[in-house]
Amino acid sequence: MRTAYSVETVRAAERELMARLAEGALMQRAAAGLAAACADLLGRVYGSRVVLLVGSGDNGGDALYAGARLARRGAGVTAVLLAPERTHGAGLAALRGAGGTVAGSGAAEELILRADLVVDGIVGIGGKGGLRPEAVPLAGYAADSRAAVVAVDLPSGIEADTGEVLGTAVRADLTVTFGTHKPGLLIDPGREYAGSVRLVDIGLELPEEAELEALQHADVAVRLPVPGAESDKYRRGVVGIAAGSARYPGAAVLAVSGALRGGAGAVRYVGPAADAVISRFPETLVSDQGPARAGRVQAWVVGPGVGDDASAVAQVLEADVSVLVDADGLRLADRSAVRARTAPTLMTPHAGEAAALLGVSRESVEAARLASARELALRYGATVLLKGSTTLVADPQGGAVRVNPTGTAWLATAGSGDVLSGLAGSLLAAGLSALDAGSVGAYLHGLAGRLAADGAPLGAHDVAAAIPEAWRDIRDALR
């Protein structure tokens, strides 16, 4: 499991650790890790041109000490100081002692454009409210330069706790982060600014429960349902799919295609698209009765392509089994009916749907994904899977939010969400909690999307067809 902790938690752990260590020891650990990462990126340190962007805090101190280490190995290191009178004094002395120099801000553009490496130590976890105006041009020069850009702890200008980007931020090729990932490094839009992320262990002791967690192959593998010797189709779980309409039969077919690959023993389809479903997937059990009379299931998926069939949504919400609500279902679901449920509920909006449910703009959901997912979970008393470039899953009772690491932009294709609904609903029917079904479903779906796309456009049905390959790939992590 990859975890991320909030600034407040990191600060507390740092205080505790600093009290036990010699003055400056922690910063030396950070700088050593940073310098090593820079050296790896440069390949040849000797003779390289390195520019340090140095803000007024310890983030700048890290950059200066790392710069001193690179200067000692023969790099030409120049520091651009944003606040010369408030620069980390000992760090600056170390840089000078190692042969590094300081340039005035007038020389910054020229230096950055000619550099091999730019180290962004403008601001770290002490930053708030986006880049200050004097730092904004530096981010621009770094973006225009052919130099590799390494962010210290996090790209300056992104909000560490949320991944929000307020105005301009530094775009890094590599972020070297200390002690733990910060939430903003794993959530868009901040994640896109971070490039690849390298974690340097500085010995922080962090609490059990993280702010954010990202499942990895091994975490998913142990959660995948596996039929036992005693299993039959009913014991493996039956998932009911209430989806599709005369106008949108394809949504039903795609939801079923995901559900068939998600671990349930049988898929029961209810709705007006039964013919389309059967002709594509003859193994589906179909019914033209409403969900309330369709026979026993262990979980329901309701919503993809149902149009205005509010009755199907209401019937499903009354069922005493796990329910996944998606697409049209989100619009039609009565909030008090969702809140009144005692069995688990998983809602799967994309940013636009989440915005409608919260009564805010789509942009504000996209800018603050973590807060939006949490808020929605609280309001509805339901687990919320917020789809997007970084899919998040939040439980209503709090706890670590799951962030999906397998997403790919190729998944932004019509019908892809219907496949995810069926898949995650099938995992619910197989007995996974709403949090696990949502996060394991998103992980499988993302990986299937990557495997199916392999760098080329794909259709949603390709994603569904690639789920078994993704499943095997993950399962093999346990071998």
Ligand X SMILES: NC(=O)C1=CN([C@@H]2O[C@H](COP(=O)(O)OP(=O)(O)OC[C@H]3O[C@@H](n4cnc5c(N)ncnc54)[C@H](O)[C@@H]3O)[C@@H](O)[C@H]2O)[C@@H](O)CC1
Q: Which does 55 bind (CB under 5 to 8 A by kind): K ion, ligand X, none?
A: ligand X
Query: Strand ranges (DSSP E) for 345-456?
Result: 345-347, 383-386, 392-394, 401-403
Q: Which does 129 bind (CB under 5 to 8 A by kind): K ion, ligand X, none?
A: ligand X
Task: Decide whether 121 or 265 has the Cβ nearer to ligand X.
Answer: 121
Residue 285, beta-bridge partner list:
268
Q: Which does 184 bind (CB under 5 to 8 A by kind): K ion, ligand X, none?
A: none
Q: Please name the residue that has the structure tokens 């909690």.
A: 433
List alpha helices for 281-389, DSSP H: 310-318, 328-332, 335-340, 351-358, 362-367, 369-380
Task: Decide whether 156 or 389 has the Cβ nearer to K ion.
Answer: 156
By CB under 5 A, name the one of 152, 285, 325, 452 that touches K ion. 152
Amino acid at 37: A
d(CA 81, CA 238): 63
Q: Which does 332 bind (CB under 5 to 8 A by kind): K ion, ligand X, none?
A: none
Min dist CB 117 to ligand X, Å, is 17
**Angle, helices 416-429/460-475, rounded to nearest 10 degrees:** 40
Decide if residue 175 touches K ion (CB under 5 A). no
- Binding range to K ion, per CB under 5 A, among 71-79, 98-106, 146-154, 347-355: 146-154
Q: Is the dihedral of CA 225, 231, 237, 241 positive or negative?
A: positive
Q: Please name the residue that has the structure tokens 């004097």.
A: 134
Task: Decide whether 31 or 299 has the Cβ nearer to ligand X.
Answer: 31
Decide if residue 58 touches K ion (CB under 5 A). no
Decide if residue 156 touches K ion (CB under 5 A). yes
Residue 149: CA atoms inside 13 Å, Cβ hemisphere, count?
27
Task: Decide whether 18 or 102 has the Cβ nearer to ligand X.
Answer: 18
One character per residue 104-143, x = contact with K ion (rule: CB under 5 A): ----------------x-----------------------
Known binding residue 129? Answer is yes
Known binding residue 61? Answer is yes
Known binding residue 387? Answer is yes
Q: Which does 331 bind (CB under 5 to 8 A by kind): ligand X, K ion, none?
A: none
Closest C-alpha to 239, from 227, 257, 224, 226: 257
Min dist CB 407 to ligand X, Å, is 27
Query: Strand ranges (DSSP E) for 9-134?
Result: 49-54, 76-81, 101-103, 117-121
User: What does R_g of the chain's alpha carbons equal in angstroms?
Assistant: 25
Task: Decide whether 178 or 471 has the Cβ nearer to ligand X.
Answer: 178
Known binding residue 217? Answer is no
Known binding residue 433? Answer is no
Query: Strand ranges (DSSP E) for 163-305?
Result: 174-178, 196-200, 212-214, 238-242, 266-270, 285-287, 299-302
Known binding residue 135? Answer is no
Task: Decide whether 151 or 442 has the Cβ nearer to K ion.
Answer: 151
Q: Which residues bind ligand X (CB under 6 A)?
A: 14, 18, 26-27, 30, 55-60, 62, 122-132, 135, 152-153, 178, 202
Residue 191: CA atoms inside 13 Å, Cβ hemisphere, count?
19
Min dist CB 154 to K ion, Å, is 6
Known binding residue 391? Answer is yes
Task: Decide whether 152 or 301 has the Cβ nearer to ligand X.
Answer: 152
Residue 97, Cβ neighbours under 10 Å: how many?
11
Tokens of 97: 């002692």
Known binding residue 404? Answer is no
Binding site for K ion (CB under 5 A): 120, 151-152, 156
* Known binding-site residue numbers: 58-62, 120, 124-130, 153, 156, 251, 305, 350, 387-391, 417-418
